[in-house]
Amino acid sequence: MNYRERTKRNLLGIITIAVVVWTSSCTRTSAPVQMADVIYSGGDIITINESEPIVEALAIKDGIIIAVGIKAEVLKHNGNATKMVDLRGKTLLPGFIDAHGHVFNTGVQALAAELLSRPDGTVNDIAALQQTLRDWADKYPNRMSKTGWIIGFGYDDAQMKEQRHPTRDDLDVVSRTIPVLAIHQSGHLAAINSKGLEIAGITAASENPAGGVYRRREGGSEPDGVLEEMAFFKLVFTVLGTLGIDENKAILKAGLESYARFGFTTAQEGRATIEAIETEAVVANEGGLKIDVVAYADIQGAADAIKLPHHSKTYRQHFRIGGAKLSLDGSPQGKTAWLTKPYRLPPEGQKADYQGYSAVTDDEAVALVDKAFNNGWQILAHCNGDAAADQFIMAIRTATKKHGKADRRPVMIHSQTVRDDQLDAMKELGVIPSFFGMHTYYWGDWHRDSVLGPERAARISPAASALKRGMIFTQHHDAPVALPSSIMILASQVNRTTRSGKVLGPEQRVSVMDALKSITINAAYQYFEEKTKGSLEPGKLADLVILDKNPLKVEQMAIKDIKVVETIKEGKSIYMAP
């Protein structure tokens, strides 16, 4: 090829490249800019995206985020029909994701007599508890008639003036003819009156059920009315099992409204019963779920419910079954959690070496976790005590050895007393800790002085230790154990102050941003939903929450005073503060 031919060929090549580039450029610039349904600006927009943590504006189309960033750029999506929302100095964030709670039972809490102590309620002694139950029965006779019981939820012996549980004698003052059920705030214990004991068939001759205890009168075998763990669960499942679908739908609606009020756009139904799953599926099919609900069926009592079409990583009308829930012990504040060392002060009637107790045997734990692995179910396990954590780690290790490693994302719910060696094992096995940091506020003084002692109590929900190991962790409210308060989740793990104002384990505090991640992007990861939720990025769902103040900018002790102004699910407002 001579010089002239080579030159001609090179020139043609250059022209061809130029035409391609020009054509491509024309295609990009001529493509119509998508017009937004809504554009938010005028306040801080926290994206939870480390590359661009705070932006000026956000645009939404058809429930999906289409633009995030500088206001001038986002306004290119402003069309004739676009609604412009001025945040007026308020703060926009991703909608909060419930890493662990019980949305159906939160509805039970909302409809029952409220027995919470300060600051959430007014029941601080036995007399107030009795009066509240009587007032509820008088005010809501229709609710009482649905079950035939007077039901209250949320008393806490640690906050009562008497520093004890109500007994059958205390509840007999409320009624001797109607059964009375007062549920402990932990959701792991309850007290019933003499009529309730009669209906349940619990007598001096009744043996304790596996994984539960009927507390007895001092010096005898006559039940005193206080039921622990499986002794309580068996009763409450029977009582609520009498309700029909219409009553269950009303309970679920109350739970959903409570979650939305606190900025949650995704809720969990942890340890779901068959009745709860059936109710949620029915309401979903009717288009009645205002937020996403992920159910984890009780692997011992409701495993048959884990099936298609709802067992899926995608939602059908805002509902899906995510996997299974396994409970391995009880409650530290109720002193039924399973520890490797004794309680600081054992509960009444127990010896000094009392360490709580397990819900299942080691063999049962191994078999149940293996069942989840074998069926491809994500497994969540309730582990408050470090002995329960040991059992779950052992079962996960055994199943992993048998089935091989995979991206299963098992979750240790609560992880309250996990040790450093257990965190190391969890990281190795891919177990996500979901901490209950709110305990530092609600029961921190009780844990320090009565349950665990100062040293162990200071390590309750050790989120900072998990961070040092590079672990993804989440935080939760476990409603109805506590109100489903997103703000208290943030404040408690940032400040770790108790009800008395003392700091419990300052070395376990985390930053505000890490706290926000625990109920947004980290929680989305826990659900295998990090590609669609948890941060404000183009292509993700427009699940949003508006706060009256920016938690990154207020004084840290003032975080607890922040209010949820509005909750938005896929671009639609589902809650607006009065």
CATH of the domain at 170: 3.10.310.70
Domain boundary among 205, 240, 275: 240
Task: Assess if residue 274 is contained within a domain.
Answer: no
* Structural tokens at position 379: 């497994």
CB-based contacts of 266, cutoff 8 Å, min separation 6 = 95, 96, 97, 98, 291, 292, 293, 294, 523, 527, 529, 533, 543
* Structural tokens at position 231: 């002794």
pLDDT over 70 at 29, yes or no: no
pLDDT digits (tens, 9 = 90+) for 46-90: 999 988 999 999 999 999 999 999 999 999 999 999 999 999 999
pLDDT recorded at residue 31:
63
Q: How many CB atoms lie within 10 A of CB 20?
A: 10
Same domain, residue pair 89 and 119: no
Domain boundary among 240, 264, 286: 240
Task: Assess if residue 258 is contained within a domain.
Answer: no
Task: Assess if residue 20 is contained within a domain.
Answer: no
pLDDT recorded at residue 238:
86
pLDDT recorded at residue 240:
82
pLDDT recorded at residue 21:
40
Burial of 375 (0-12, 13-18, 19+ CB in 10 A): middle
Same domain, residue pair 340 and 467: yes
Mean pLDDT on 479-489: 94
pLDDT over 50 at 16, yes or no: no
Angle at 234 between CA 392 and CA 236, to 5 degrees: 110
466/459 Cα distance (integer angstroms): 11
Residue span of the structural domain in which 229 resides: 103-240
Task: Assess if residue 544 is contained within a domain.
Answer: yes
pLDDT over 60 at 2, yes or no: no
Question: What CATH number has the domain bearing residue 516?
Answer: 3.20.20.140
- Residue 340 to residues 45, 324, 385, 456, Cα–Cα distance (Å): 45, 26, 8, 12
Question: What CATH number has the domain bearing residue 67?
Answer: 2.30.40.10
Task: Assess if residue 208 is contained within a domain.
Answer: yes
Mean pLDDT on 264-277: 96
570/544 Cα distance (integer angstroms): 8
Same domain, residue pair 343 and 399: yes
pLDDT digits (tens, 9 = 90+) for 284-300: 999 999 999 999 999 99
Same domain, residue pair 508 and 375: yes
CB-based contacts of 374, cutoff 8 Å, min separation 6 = 403
Task: Assess if residue 9 is contained within a domain.
Answer: no
pLDDT recorded at residue 55:
98
Same domain, residue pair 349 and 214: no
- What percent of the chain is modeled with pLDDT above 90? 88
pLDDT recorded at residue 7:
44
CB-based contacts of 244, cutoff 8 Å, min separation 6 = none
Answer for the pair 410, 393: CB distance below 8 angstroms, yes or no.
Answer: no
Work out the pLDDT band at 242, boundaries 50, 70, 90: confident
pLDDT digits (tens, 9 = 90+) for 535-566: 999 999 999 999 999 999 999 999 999 999 99
Mean pLDDT on 412-417: 98
Same domain, residue pair 346 and 450: yes
Same domain, residue pair 506 and 544: no
pLDDT recorded at residue 6:
46
Same domain, residue pair 67 and 114: no
pLDDT over 70 at 19, yes or no: no
pLDDT over 80 at 44, yes or no: yes
Answer for the pair 373, 407: CB distance below 8 angstroms, yes or no.
Answer: no
* Structural tokens at position 306: 């884990």
pLDDT over 50 at 3, yes or no: no
Work out the pLDDT band at 223, boundaries 50, 70, 90: very high
* Structural tokens at position 572: 């639609």
* Structural tokens at position 328: 């391995």
Task: Assess if residue 499 is contained within a domain.
Answer: yes
pLDDT over 90 at 348, yes or no: no
Mean pLDDT on 325-331: 96
Mean pLDDT on 302-317: 96
Task: Assess if residue 264 is contained within a domain.
Answer: no
Share the mean pLDDT of the chain: 93
pLDDT recorded at residue 144:
85
Mean pLDDT on 470-492: 96
Same domain, residue pair 388 and 453: yes
The pairing of strands 564-569 and 572-576 is antiparallel
Helix (H) and strand (E) counts in the chain: 20, 22
Same domain, residue pair 76 and 124: no
Same domain, residue pair 76 and 131: no
Same domain, residue pair 342 and 224: no
pLDDT recorded at residue 379:
98
pLDDT recorded at residue 26:
38
pLDDT digits (tens, 9 = 90+) for 452-472: 999 999 999 999 999 999 999
- Residue 552 to residues 44, 54, 383, 511, 567, Cα–Cα distance (Å): 10, 10, 31, 9, 19
Answer for the pair 294, 100: CB distance below 8 angstroms, yes or no.
Answer: no
Domain boundary among 190, 214, 240: 240
Domain count for the chain: 3
